[in-house]
Amino acid sequence: MPEKTNIGNFFEDFELGQEIVHATPRTLTEGDVALYTSLYGTRFALNSSDALASDLGLPGAPIDDLLVFHTVFGKTVPDISLNAVANLGYARGVFGVPVYPGDTLSAQSEVIGLKENSNGEAGVVYVRSTGQNQDGEVVLDYVRWVMVRKRSSDAPARKPTIPELPGAVDVVDLVAPFLSNPERYTAEISGSPHFWGDYQCGERIDHVDGMTIEEAEHMIATRLYQNTAKVHFNQYEQQAGRFGKRLIYGGHIVSLARALSFNGLANAFKIAAINGGAHTNPTFGGDTIYAWSEILEKFEIPGCEDFGALRVRTVASKDHPCGTFPDKDSDGKPLSSVVLDFDYTVLMIRR
Amino acid sequence: MPEKTNIGNFFEDFELGQEIVHATPRTLTEGDVALYTSLYGTRFALNSSDALASDLGLPGAPIDDLLVFHTVFGKTVPDISLNAVANLGYARGVFGVPVYPGDTLSAQSEVIGLKENSNGEAGVVYVRSTGQNQDGEVVLDYVRWVMVRKRSSDAPARKPTIPELPGAVDVVDLVAPFLSNPERYTAEISGSPHFWGDYQCGERIDHVDGMTIEEAEHMIATRLYQNTAKVHFNQYEQQAGRFGKRLIYGGHIVSLARALSFNGLANAFKIAAINGGAHTNPTFGGDTIYAWSEILEKFEIPGCEDFGALRVRTVASKDHPCGTFPDKDSDGKPLSSVVLDFDYTVLMIRR
Amino acid sequence: MPEKTNIGNFFEDFELGQEIVHATPRTLTEGDVALYTSLYGTRFALNSSDALASDLGLPGAPIDDLLVFHTVFGKTVPDISLNAVANLGYARGVFGVPVYPGDTLSAQSEVIGLKENSNGEAGVVYVRSTGQNQDGEVVLDYVRWVMVRKRSSDAPARKPTIPELPGAVDVVDLVAPFLSNPERYTAEISGSPHFWGDYQCGERIDHVDGMTIEEAEHMIATRLYQNTAKVHFNQYEQQAGRFGKRLIYGGHIVSLARALSFNGLANAFKIAAINGGAHTNPTFGGDTIYAWSEILEKFEIPGCEDFGALRVRTVASKDHPCGTFPDKDSDGKPLSSVVLDFDYTVLMIRR
């Protein structure tokens, strides 16, 4: 009689080159979109309005890129990070074809790196995860690395392999949508007169607003993504743990920061790439999240006159307004109030 | 390099006759409808059942009038009331064509009145806001007035202009739906045998039930409406404020009171007009909302034999059951437990 | 002037053989499905993916059987259990045709048993409730019994009638779906390699994970089902009651336990029957729910080679991990941490 429950993979269970097909394909619907709006208050016009999307030549309002990210990420959790100690980083994340309500997403991962900790208790697993729609088209392709416990500290150490990862996604790898009537995307509709030409490298923007997170909210969000990581849901167990409370899924903070960034980056209508990111400190129910952004790079997209790209670094803080751009201490270590350091590339209409 | 964040308009920024197009058109979907049901527990049959709506000759279940109201209201916030001290009142609110899932709503406002406070710190702005669907048909047209801070108390006072507003929407301005088979709307389906003919002017109804509000609930609702008013979301900032806690969006109480009013007004299948309304006291997470109603007027609708109109005043209270119809003190001031005084016109089948 | 509010039926109001048509038909949508996922984190593949459902020959992903149950149950509350002291049990629950987004459910009940308590204060009402879709097809047919207060303890006692109820739904009464391509349902898609042949009678499975319930979550769920039982929503009133807090709707625990059971029963793709069930102890906001299951019976379905049935007993506990299978004390009484004892029949692919 086989053991029926999934206890997840431990560091020893991963092999370089291993391919894992993740369970539970998920159809995203207008219901998921409404919940996403209600959890973050996002207001980017293209994701909000079928009428605008249709005017621009799209079949309907595309689903928020981060809802796609969370859905694909959630699928990987039971296989990759059920025994994770920490989610360490992201790289080379490229969003592919847009996702519309009714599309069914599935995910698979390839193990591309393994590095055991010197203490023999855990190791870092690098996976390249790919999300596809029902037609096999790639909707997201990204790398993350995560520290996973070993089943046994006696298991022999393996030769480390660390993949080479780019600092940022190359412009030629970005997938830009085709908008047949970009002139119909206006400042009145989007809520901001600031377009691609108005931003400069090095510019910093305080997104001003703060949003307090309730326990019910982050759990509703994380379950929506079918993310099963235990630390987010079980107060009975967590009260005996390191923090005494439930940890909030790091992706929840990414979405909150992105929604807050509307106030200053309202025309960043699409995330095209995730270059990197770190959850620099944990967040908990009751924390109030603020955010600020820095324009890291500004570049044209070859063959595209309608919009350009901005590489943006968005930093989120807890219980710390961002008028002073909280960041790192004199040793280069993130301040204890800084909870997210996210490096991504957005598309913005040129005007 | 222009400042990128929206800090909202101050009293000085408004001009009489000014027209403002609000950002972020919003497609309402079945997802929004499900969330609305889950947040208030509303049970009005016509909004609940596509099958009933179809039997009555409609293309599907129309979206709850108050969800339409909140969506249009939410669009106006970034331009009108981001720097509001208080939302003071409503008048001449008329619901137009019904809204169905898939419709995209956008909003614009005209400044129709301005009156500076005597202390020079703020002023009252009167706006007429209009919500339209993707075909340009009006779905809602209403006036609200709101006290907005001045940017500088040194700014010179302006000549006050106060619009003339009716005490109630005139019956000829009501937009009544056409039901091809009104006889298929039955007491069994709606849950109440009390139709238009059973109500009398002056009648008072205790809606009996009470509903406690959690912080997560009012924030999820208010974000669903893309309403960005800061006081609802940021506990870190509010704890240093006047109340020490987040204020609940007044419209959340309107929707709760309307949902509670089902028990006594189940056949009031549509709100046709908002005649007036005041948020008489603030509400906070943890408050339990009760409601009672008074029938102010009862009138026929010219040319319509299928249903009549009731002008209703619904009063909501917090932590105060409504068996004794809590209202005003001997000076005519609302009791401290009374949080809403809402004057509106509903349609009800005649039988 | 008739009294307009519904105060619900008391024990004296029920008559043997009485038929009650419940109000408010309800169209279930993709919005409801998304909320259901977000509230419980359910991951059963067939309910999650339109693409899989289509591969299997269905028109789309069927709606979770328990969402159907809660919707039908919710409709019965205003007529059956508004004055309930306790919901005592379920029997002979059979799920009929599958429900898809867009279907409108309505419900009716027949009183099939009445038994007054010896103290004359209340009595047990047995009802057979039936949910139908817009075409009149039965989607659910079940019996529940509930203790209902008497309006007056002076009312004369009536002759008791207790219906005969089966211990379990007979296999010939189960409604099995037709899957045209059952081989396309794979372990990779469902997330578990354990199919019908791998389970044995008497086998017990600890579902491992725990989920803490927030007040906002159970209220959002219960309102989604338009369930109006007062004890779930009104903290102001409940603080003076027996427990000092809001009671969680028992069905919320059923859904949580079912979602947790994915870890061990991932291929139990459909609930075909509810044989019985008891809410053995109350649950409250803040409780963490765990679950374990026992395979009670394993049987083939006549004429069906694609899948078999398992009769399962799932026990849920609060603040009590289920590695030791918490159950009953030496007197056969449920432990105080055991909150649900649910007996149901699931379908599982044979392989």
Q: Which segment of A3-7, B24-28, B69-73, C73-77 scores lowest on mean pLDDT?
A: A3-7
Looking at residues C48-53, what average pLDDT do you find? 98
Separation CA C77–CA B191 (nearest Å): 12
- Asked whether the beta carbons of residue B223 and residue A319 sit closer than 8 angstroms, the reply is no
Q: Tell me the one-letter amino acid at A145.
A: W
* Chain B residues inside the 8 Å CB shell of C104: 49-52
Q: Which segment of B129-138, B297-306, C275-284, C312-321 scores lowest on mean pLDDT?
A: B297-306
- Asked whether the beta carbons of residue B31 and residue C26 sit closer than 8 angstroms, the reply is no
In three-state secondary structure terms, C291 is: strand
What is residue B117's predicted lDDT score, i.e. its pLDDT?
A: 93
| Residue B84 near residue B164 (C-beta atoms within 8 A) | no
Contacts of B103 (CB under 8 A, 6+ apart): B27, B28, B63, B133, B134, B139
Separation CA C285–CA C212 (nearest Å): 8
Mean pLDDT of chain C: 96
Contacts of C182 (CB under 8 A, 6+ apart): C56, C306, C307, C349
- The C-alpha of C209 sits at a distance from chain A's nearest C-alpha, in angstroms, of 7
Find the CB nearest C37 among A25, A78, A223: A223
- Asked whether the beta carbons of residue B288 and residue C236 sit closer than 8 angstroms, the reply is yes
Separation CA C95–CA C130 (nearest Å): 10
**pLDDT, tens digit, for every residue of A105-137?**
999 999 999 999 998 899 999 999 999 999 999
Looking at residues C144-163, what average pLDDT do you find? 92
**pLDDT, tens digit, for every residue of B53-88?**
999 999 999 999 999 999 999 999 999 999 898 899
pLDDT surpasses 70 at C2: no
* C-chain residue closest to B204, CA distance: C4
Tell me which of B33, B43, B255 to substitute to probe the interface with C (most C C-beta atoms closer than 10 Å): B43
Mean pLDDT of chain A: 96
CA angle A236, A117, A87 (to 5 degrees): 45
Find the CB nearest C5 among B37, B205, B217: B205
Predicted TM-score (pTM) of the model is: 0.98
- Asked whether the beta carbons of residue A34 and residue B224 sit closer than 8 angstroms, the reply is yes
Q: Can you tell me which residue has the tokens 């016109």?
A: B345
pLDDT surpasses 80 at C205: yes
Separation CA A291–CA A41 (nearest Å): 14
Looking at residues B295-301, what average pLDDT do you find? 97
Neighbours of A15 (CB within 10 A): 10
How many contiguous H segments (helices) and E segments (strands) does chain C have? 9, 12
What is residue A27's predicted lDDT score, i.e. its pLDDT?
A: 98
Separation CA A141–CA A108 (nearest Å): 10
**pLDDT, tens digit, for every residue of A203-230?**
999 999 999 999 999 999 999 999 999 8
pLDDT surpasses 70 at B1: no
Mean pLDDT of chain B: 96
**pLDDT, tens digit, for every residue of B283-295?**
999 999 999 999 9
What is residue A128's predicted lDDT score, i.e. its pLDDT?
A: 98
Looking at residues C167-182, what average pLDDT do you find? 92
pLDDT surpasses 90 at A7: no
What is residue B153's predicted lDDT score, i.e. its pLDDT?
A: 84
Per CB distance under 8 Å, which residues of B are interface residues toward A? Answer: 1-2, 4-7, 21, 23-27, 29-32, 34-35, 78, 101-102, 104, 106, 134, 214-216, 219-224, 226, 228, 230, 233-237, 246
**Strand partners for C140:** C95, C131
What is residue C1's predicted lDDT score, i.e. its pLDDT?
A: 57
**pLDDT, tens digit, for every residue of A169-192?**
999 999 988 899 999 999 999 999
What is residue B158's predicted lDDT score, i.e. its pLDDT?
A: 85
- The C-alpha of A211 sits at a distance from chain B's nearest C-alpha, in angstroms, of 5
Contacts of A217 (CB under 8 A, 6+ apart): A39, B216, B219, B220
pLDDT surpasses 60 at C209: yes
In three-state secondary structure terms, C115 is: strand
| Residue B18 near residue B114 (C-beta atoms within 8 A) | no
What is residue A155's predicted lDDT score, i.e. its pLDDT?
A: 81
Is residue A299 classed exposed, middle or buried when 0-12, 13-18 and 19+ CB atoms within 10 A define those classes?
A: middle
**pLDDT, tens digit, for every residue of B200-241?**
999 999 999 999 999 999 999 999 999 999 899 999 999 999
What is residue B199's predicted lDDT score, i.e. its pLDDT?
A: 98
Tell me which of C40, C43, C248, C319 to substitute to probe the interface with A (most A C-beta atoms closer than 10 Å): C43
Looking at residues A86-112, what average pLDDT do you find? 97
Find the CB nearest B29 among A33, A205, A212: A33
- The C-alpha of C266 sits at a distance from chain A's nearest C-alpha, in angstroms, of 9
What is residue C303's predicted lDDT score, i.e. its pLDDT?
A: 85
